[in-house]
Chain A
Amino acid sequence: MAGSPSGPRTLFDKLWDSHAIVTREDGQTLLWVDRHFVHEGSFHAFNKLTERDARVAHPELTFGIADHYVPTRRSGRSIDPAIQNMIDQLARNTLENDVLLFGLNDPRQGIVHVVGPEQGLTLPGLLIVCGDSHTSTHGAFGAWGFGIGASEVAHVLMTQTLWQRRPKRMRITVDGTLAPGIGAKDIALSIIARIGADGAQGHAVEYAGSAIRALSMEGRLTLCNLSIEAGARCGMVAPDETTIAYLRGRPFAPAGDEFERAAEDWLRLQSDEDAEFDREIILNGSEIAPVVTWGVSPEDALPITMAVPDPEVISDPSKAAQIRDALAYMDLRPGQKLTDVSIDRVFIGSCTNSRIEDLRAAAQVLFGRKAKVPGLVSPGSSLVKQQAESEGLDRIFKEAGLEWVESGCSMCVGMNGDIVQPGERCASTTNRNFKGRQGPGARTHLMSPAMVAAAAVTGSLADVRRLIEERS
């Protein structure tokens, strides 16, 4: 197999090798897990522990976070008992197992993939798992993060290990300079549109190139977050000075000399110059336009300047059927210009785009303008919320007519009751435009925070570049 310890290795190979405990003849490797995040949905796994009369093997490496079900309007409202039960169940399971919980009322509470990095729990070189597919997010630090199912969560809780087979390696290189108003979300959606929602299945992806290097940590988190929407096992960016600067002073990260020593180790986590990848994809960053989705899979993405596809001119019958089905669900006409699609509401939030930089980008477009449709802004964590308020961003959102609420998964998945009504069309910074994802019958268009802000102001899908130009 390529990537043996002696030859040149990719970043992923290095992470793999440093976590391998034993490799069986059949190729399965037992891997050590450095961090394990659990949330309300992890109850199936805790129940499996109870069945076996087992306890969490390494509580010091396990962290609980309430996010999927938390209400975003907390003060003075009563919580649905079934939802309260999900939150209480997590509190009980973590307490009984001595696991630190960032619970509903913790000032550090937020979405797991926002809180991990923010608290310095996510570090380069770590193997991080969570019963959530967007665990790929953490790869932004040169960590190896991936989502697992409940049986695997139970396995990690009991043993702090997992069996895996080495995935293939893919490198996605984006060179060039992004135009103003274009962000990590546009890069990610362009990649998914190009290779398909299953294009990276079975692959560990490394993002490289000058456009990636130029991204802030927030941008890299958005990019790695969406790796799973291309089907990848994980996505990662090699650590550099941007990574180190972000981590310095984070509460759970090493401090003082220990930090400097660790930083030396982290900066060595790079793919060797002549390391080979199983697949290479190259994009030109300067050609990337603001992207929106029109269908029911993240692969149904197009530059905002384009029109809705026409199934009648598609020769592959199953692809044509897929488009027809998507257009029927989304209530769109073939050939309709994307900028002619009017929307009913907006949502800014989720582990994809709810960090401070995302909120700043949206606020910049909204400043001094009014939204034509209602909408919700839910910061990724309580600390992001605090930061945004100290910068006055909350006022910009509120003055534009949007609702400023507490942090949580909220309208990304609708588990807490924040849903898009049946038939309504939502411009959203989230990651999945699946049928019914934001609520039964909801129609979702994915885009960047700046593009959602532009849609809010115009009441339809819009090219944010026009709104930026108007200002200058």
Chain B
Amino acid sequence: MQPFQCLTAPACPLPYANIDTDQMIPARFMKRSRAEGYGGYLLHDMRFSSSGREIADFPLNQTPYRNAQIIVARRNFGAGSSREAAVYALVDYGVRCVIAPSFGDIFASNSVNNGLLPAKVGERDGEALIGLLQETHAELTVDLEAQTISVKGISVPFVIDPVWRTKLLNGWDDIDITLSQADAIARFREEDSLIRPWVTPRIRDGAGQTTM
């Protein structure tokens, strides 16, 4: 996984609350293989009209924001479906950080697993950043070590779970860490099967049907 330390890049304001993962990638694109890249489907129905034309009003379609690697949105970004494809769409488009006052829990953990930083800011700071980006198209600097977002002499703090911060800073993947716990897992399993013998499903041959 690509580590995230400090990024200075163009940012795009998305002044909407509740941008859910269905918006980030509509369900109809999810049959496609990741190898094709999901960037083209990012926020598809917000970016494109039903005839496939770009919607000029949409910030990401405007020249200064088109190459954004940072997105600033309103509350509850990434609510809804657990589809990691929403994160793939952002990452494949080139986005490395999303700034918002709150995030869907599953979306946030999916982000971290893909090297995308979900940076949580105060509601007022978020509004200030959106306002500033609408006026000036400035680049933002997101410093994960210092947990600050700065632009033109202004600096606002953001929060992130410390464990996620460490993971992002180092580009760590959980699986290797977990595999090193194999003995503890095996021990747990053995003791647990005595304490909770009912956990293992009773599978009947050709498993019968319920009568309800």
- A residues bordering B, Cβ < 8 Å? 18, 21-22, 26-28, 30, 32, 34-35, 41, 44, 47, 52, 60-61, 69, 82-83, 85-86, 100, 107-108, 118-121, 123, 125-126, 131-133, 146-152, 154-155, 158-161, 163, 165, 196-198, 201-202, 228, 231, 233, 249-255, 258-259, 261-262, 265, 296-297, 299, 318, 321-322, 325, 356, 383, 387, 413-415, 422, 432, 434-437, 440-441
Q: Which of B18, B174, B181, B184 contacts A155 (CB 8 A)?
A: B174
Q: Which of B82, B185, B189 contacts A132 (CB 8 A)?
A: B82
B114 at the interface (CB under 8 A from A): yes
Beta-carbon nearest neighbor of A82 in chain B: B31
Q: B201 to A133, Cβ gap below 8 A?
A: no
Can you list 24 A-B pairs with a CB-CB distance of less than 8 A?
Answer: A22-B181, A28-B163, A60-B200, A69-B31, A100-B203, A132-B82, A148-B106, A149-B110, A151-B84, A159-B185, A160-B185, A161-B185, A197-B76, A231-B76, A249-B210, A252-B201, A258-B202, A259-B198, A261-B197, A322-B17, A356-B212, A436-B23, A436-B45, A440-B45
Q: A118 to B210, Cβ gap below 8 A?
A: yes
Q: B203 to A252, Cβ gap below 8 A?
A: yes
Measured in the bound complex, the distance between the Cα atoms of B16 and A434 in whole Å is 13
Q: A440 to B26, Cβ gap below 8 A?
A: yes
B113 at the interface (CB under 8 A from A): yes
Q: B198 to A26, Cβ gap below 8 A?
A: no
Measured in the bound complex, the distance between the Cα atoms of B18 and A297 in whole Å is 7
Measured in the bound complex, the distance between the Cα atoms of B201 and A283 in whole Å is 37
Q: A383 to B45, Cβ gap below 8 A?
A: no
Q: B22 to A436, Cβ gap below 8 A?
A: yes
Other A-B pairs beyond A158-B175, A258-B198, A261-B198, 6, CB < 8 Å: A83-B31, A133-B82, A150-B84, A152-B109, A152-B113, A432-B80
- Give how many B residues have a beta carbon under 8 Å from the other chain's beta carbons: 68
Which residues of the other chain, A, contact B200 by a CB distance below 8 angstroms? Answer: 60-61
Beta-carbon nearest neighbor of A121 in chain B: B201
B204 at the interface (CB under 8 A from A): yes
B196 at the interface (CB under 8 A from A): yes
Q: Which of B18, B30, B84, B197 contacts A322 (CB 8 A)?
A: B18
Q: A32 to B188, Cβ gap below 8 A?
A: yes
Which residues of the other chain, A, contact B28 by a CB distance below 8 angstroms? Answer: 414-415, 440
Which residues of the other chain, B, contact A28 by a CB distance below 8 angstroms? Answer: 163
- Determine which residue in A41, A149, A151, A165 has the highest number of CB atoms from chain B within 10 A of its CB, and name it: A149
Measured in the bound complex, the distance between the Cα atoms of B202 and A255 in whole Å is 8
| B184–chain A nearest beta-carbon distance, Å | 5
Q: B30 to A108, Cβ gap below 8 A?
A: no
Beta-carbon nearest neighbor of B86 in chain A: A149
| A145–chain B nearest beta-carbon distance, Å | 12
Q: Which of A26, A258, A325 contacts B197 (CB 8 A)?
A: A258
B:15-52 near A, CB below 8 Å: 15-18, 20, 22-23, 26-28, 30-31, 34, 45, 50
Measured in the bound complex, the distance between the Cα atoms of B96 and A64 in whole Å is 33
Q: B45 to A435, Cβ gap below 8 A?
A: yes
Q: A231 to B105, Cβ gap below 8 A?
A: yes
Q: B15 to A262, Cβ gap below 8 A?
A: no
Q: B83 to A41, Cβ gap below 8 A?
A: yes
Which residues of the other chain, A, contact B189 by a CB distance below 8 angstroms? Answer: 32
Which residues of the other chain, A, contact B31 by a CB distance below 8 angstroms? Answer: 69, 82-83, 85-86, 415
Which residues of the other chain, A, contact B85 by a CB distance below 8 angstroms? Answer: 44, 150
Q: A149 to B27, Cβ gap below 8 A?
A: no
B161 at the interface (CB under 8 A from A): yes
B178 at the interface (CB under 8 A from A): yes
Measured in the bound complex, the distance between the Cα atoms of B23 and A24 in whole Å is 36
Which residues of the other chain, A, contact B161 by a CB distance below 8 angstroms? Answer: 165
Q: Which of B84, B188, B212 contacts A149 (CB 8 A)?
A: B84
Measured in the bound complex, the distance between the Cα atoms of B162 and A147 in whole Å is 22
Which residues of the other chain, A, contact B109 by a CB distance below 8 angstroms? Answer: 148-149, 152
Nearest 8 Cβ contacts at the A-B interface: A149-B110, A151-B113, A262-B198, A149-B84, A150-B84, A147-B82, A198-B76, A133-B82
Q: Which of B80, B102, B208 contacts A201 (CB 8 A)?
A: B102
Which residues of the other chain, B, contact A228 by a CB distance below 8 angstroms? Answer: 80
Which residues of the other chain, A, contact B103 by a CB distance below 8 angstroms? Answer: 201
Q: A26 to B163, Cβ gap below 8 A?
A: yes
Which residues of the other chain, A, contact B113 by a CB distance below 8 angstroms? Answer: 149, 151-152
B147 at the interface (CB under 8 A from A): no
B:69-94 near A, CB below 8 Å: 74-76, 79-85, 87
Q: Which of B22, B127, B185 contacts A318 (CB 8 A)?
A: B127
| B103–chain A nearest beta-carbon distance, Å | 8
Measured in the bound complex, the distance between the Cα atoms of B147 and A209 in whole Å is 42
Beta-carbon nearest neighbor of A118 in chain B: B210
B145 at the interface (CB under 8 A from A): no
Measured in the bound complex, the distance between the Cα atoms of B188 and A202 in whole Å is 27
B136 at the interface (CB under 8 A from A): no
| A165–chain B nearest beta-carbon distance, Å | 6
Q: B198 to A155, Cβ gap below 8 A?
A: no
Q: B22 to A437, Cβ gap below 8 A?
A: yes
B134 at the interface (CB under 8 A from A): no
Measured in the bound complex, the distance between the Cα atoms of B210 and A282 in whole Å is 37
B166 at the interface (CB under 8 A from A): yes
Which residues of the other chain, B, contact A119 by a CB distance below 8 angstroms? Answer: 207, 210
Measured in the bound complex, the distance between the Cα atoms of B201 and A60 in whole Å is 8
Q: Which of A147, A251, A318, A435 contacts B23 (CB 8 A)?
A: A435
Q: A201 to B104, Cβ gap below 8 A?
A: yes
B209 at the interface (CB under 8 A from A): yes
Measured in the bound complex, the distance between the Cα atoms of B184 and A163 in whole Å is 14
B211 at the interface (CB under 8 A from A): yes
Which residues of the other chain, A, contact B146 by a CB distance below 8 angstroms? Answer: none
Beta-carbon nearest neighbor of A296 in chain B: B18
| A50–chain B nearest beta-carbon distance, Å | 13
Measured in the bound complex, the distance between the Cα atoms of B25 and A149 in whole Å is 14
Q: B174 to A434, Cβ gap below 8 A?
A: no
- Once A21-B184, A30-B184, A198-B102 are accepted as A-B contacts, the answer to whether A155 and B209 lie under 8 Å apart by CB is no
B199 at the interface (CB under 8 A from A): yes
| A268–chain B nearest beta-carbon distance, Å | 12
Beta-carbon nearest neighbor of A441 in chain B: B50
Measured in the bound complex, the distance between the Cα atoms of B201 and A255 in whole Å is 11
